[in-house]
Structure 1
Amino acid sequence: MKTKTFLATVSAAALIALSGVGAASATTLYADPKVKEPVVDIVQDPAAVPAPEAAGKRAPKTHNVVLTTTEVEAKLDDGTTYTYWTFNNKVPGPMVRVRVGDTVNVSMTNAPGSVMNHSIDFHAATGFLGGGQITQAEPGQTKEFSFKAMAPGVYVYHCATPMVAQHIAKGMFGLIVVEPEDGLPKVDKEFYVMQQEIYATKAKNLPAAEDDYDGLVNEKPGYLVFNGAVGGLVKDKPLKASVGETVRIWFGVGGPNFTSSFHVIGEIFDRVHNLGALDTPPLKNVQTVTVAPGGATMVEFKVDYPGKYALVDHALSRATKGLIGILEVDGKADDSIILDKSGDSRKQLGEMKH
């Protein structure tokens, strides 16, 4: 099978070769894409991170977050499509970035072409089930609410319409970052990555994968992926940086069921804000960070050596079901950091090209 062959090649190579506005003034940050036709590419660009503000205190702001819930047929894997349920036609949905004390206005429209009801629950919001209780929208309906970002952290949002696990597994989740009142230090590159399970199976003679309800309730996924699709962060949208740059990854787990042991093969996290807590001192020099379903973290590290680094869940059998991404680093090699004395690395890195 082409998919399994591709994953085996990628996984083996990766594991062996890759060792100032007032509160009354609102700005619209996330607009309705108004896409009526099904989209082919639901993979969220890992570089689609809202630009940070300069560090330092400022007056509270109001942010307008405009979301559309859609049900679209899109590519899951080579030769395989799947019906995703999304926020703004991407998996994960758009990353939202605010500061503690800011007000967030949410307008969520369930696209008229939807079959299902949808909603949204922000883990950063207090009361009304994070908004889930007041945003249950039938196809064509718009629901609105506002909340105050009261605590800094990295928070998940997701659809809260029953069966909630199904809505999440089909792609309805994302992150909202609530920065401390002083903001965060500047880094060179920021990325947005989320992990999920997809409970679907595909008959050999059919192009589309079908939902597997038994797999969902028994926690036996057909696929595990970063940013929505197999190979999405390998062939299509790899992370990219240069030697000497500091990388920050906002990482979350939509789930709905599996805990992630997030690791970048060949790297050490210089700083980890465990459990997404941004107002506590970070852990330092961490190899692997555990992130629960519905949880998130922020990791930072300086890239010192060029090459391809594999993003994985260190429950490594999951890579065979699609759970792998690539960080491509360009620049000059420093032999004092690591030196290939056998000459095998060039051959093995060649196997990573797609």
Structure 2
Amino acid sequence: MSTIPTATRRRVLEALGVGTAALAGCASAPGAKEQATEAETTPQEPAMNAAQQTDVDRIAADPTAIPDPIDRSEPKTVSVEMTTKEQVAEIEPGVTYTYMTFGDQIPGPMIRVRRGDTVELTITNEEGNSMPHNIDLHAVRGPGGGAEASMVTPGQTKTFRFKATYPGAFIYHCAVPNLDMHISSGMFGMILVEPKEGLPEVDHEFYFGQHELYTTGDTGEKGHHDFDMEAMAAEEPTYVLMNGEKYAITPDRHGSPSMSVGDTARVYFVTGGPNLDSSFHPIGSVWDEVWQQGSIAGPPNKYVQTTPVKPGSCAIATLHAEVPGPIKLVDHALSRVARKGTMAIINREGAANPDVFEPEA
């Protein structure tokens, strides 16, 4: 006989207005003694399955692992190999989940090409996987952004080719029928198509991605979390994450990248969703420049405090470090920061600059 998962039962009781006090009141009802005896002798379903052995030490992409800027003036054919993997990793210590990824990481590896390049993309669905996968790139003019041509079952490999005809930063994501579940589980990333003249030189480049995760457990509940389709349909996430894990790119987790006072950094940001917008804000600074929607064909907006990044979209933004101290990258829907795990940190290192900020005036 099937049973309702504990988390689902809890939601049902809450929806009916039946709390623990109401249930406790039943103890004085006729037959309560027999019911209590039965409860004492019947094995209780555990609140959550035990955390599983992880397949990888981390699922969070290294924000500094980005292809080098394009330094050529002619188009070429660029070969890209992408492998889809389903693997167990920690959302936070003691909490595991079976993620779906491109290339062992969230967000998936950044693809970097030049406008006019021909991209030959080979996608492999790892043999041990349980589901079909594919890839839809918003930089592709073609059916499904390549999704139809790239559908692969476990153990299968396919190759297709496209021309990068327009510049910008674009999302790619899995686009199977349950695409929302696959994206929520980590299957998204960015393809950057540089303009023919290239991008302005900066001192650092960093890469981040946000998505929400819908699970059968509560935030922080120890054990192995399964996917919760009902929670996703209701758009009630357990976690909202940057780079796939709770507070992944912070000193307390996997560490934070650094820049020096006087440096300029370019941040590439992709929102996988599948449902929630990101209100992307750097606490301790502003975005000195923002190319909204990843659109680099025109001039950027200047000195932007918070930029909206829709699901299925990107942003390119620059930061200039004028004083030392952390810059906290957040979604300014701040309950997601305080309760759901949405934050990354970039460290600014160097001498104080009292002309700009004096902490003890």
Tell me whether the two structures share a fold, i.e. TM-score over 0.5. Answer: yes
Structure 2 gap segments, 5+ residues each: 1-53
Q: Quick check: which has more Rg, 1 or 2?
A: 2
Q: 1:228-285 CA distances to partner (integer Å, 9 max, x unpaired)?
A: 0002111313231111100100011000000111000011111111111111011111
Aligned-residue offset at 1:136: 1.1
Give 1:68's aligned amino acid.
T
| 1:262 maps to 2:280 | yes
**Whole-Å separation in 1 of the counterparts to 2:97 and 2:297:** 39
**Whole-Å separation in 1 of the counterparts to 2:90 and 2:57:** 6
- Equivalent residue for 1:135, pick from 133, 141, 150: 150
| Structure 2 counterpart of 1:171 | 186
- Equivalent residue for 2:237, pick from 201, 213, 221: 221
| 1:276 maps to 2:308 | no
**Whole-Å separation in 2 of the counterparts to 1:219 and 1:96:** 29
**Whole-Å separation in 2 of the counterparts to 1:171 and 1:237:** 21
| 1:324 maps to 2:328 | no
**TM superposition score normalised by structure 1:** 0.84
| Structure 2 counterpart of 1:338 | 357
Give 2:230's aligned amino acid.
D
- Equivalent residue for 1:48, pick from 39, 54, 65: 65
Query: Is contact 1:168-1:255 (8 Å) kept?
Result: yes
Give 1:119's aligned amino acid.
N
Aligned-residue offset at 1:206: 5.4
Percentage identity across paired residues of the two chains = 43
Distance 1:109 1:268, change over 3 A: same
- Equivalent residue for 2:228, pick from 200, 206, 212: 212
Q: SS state of the match for residue 224, structure 2?
A: coil
Aligned-residue offset at 1:205: 7.8
Aligned-residue offset at 1:82: 0.6
Query: Is contact 1:191-1:248 (8 Å) kept?
Result: yes
Query: Is contact 2:100-2:185 (8 Å) kept?
Result: yes
Kindly report which structure 2 residues correspond to 1:1-354, keeping only aligned pairs within 5 A, or say none. Answer: 38-54=55-71, 58-202=73-217, 207-234=223-250, 235-319=253-337, 320-341=339-360
Query: Is contact 2:70-2:194 (8 Å) kept?
Result: no
Task: Report how many residues are paired.
Answer: 304
Query: Is contact 2:67-2:110 (8 Å) kept?
Result: yes
Structure 1 gap segments, 5+ residues each: 1-36, 343-354
CA RMSD of aligned residues (A): 1.4
**TM superposition score normalised by structure 2:** 0.82
Q: 1:323-351 CA distances to partner (integer Å, 9 max, x unpaired)?
A: 01111111001111111127xxxxxxxxx
Aligned-residue offset at 1:134: 1.3
Q: SS state of the match for residue 293, structure 2?
A: helix
**Whole-Å separation in 1 of the counterparts to 2:62 and 2:149:** 30
**Whole-Å separation in 2 of the counterparts to 1:301 and 1:44:** 20
Give 2:139's aligned amino acid.
A
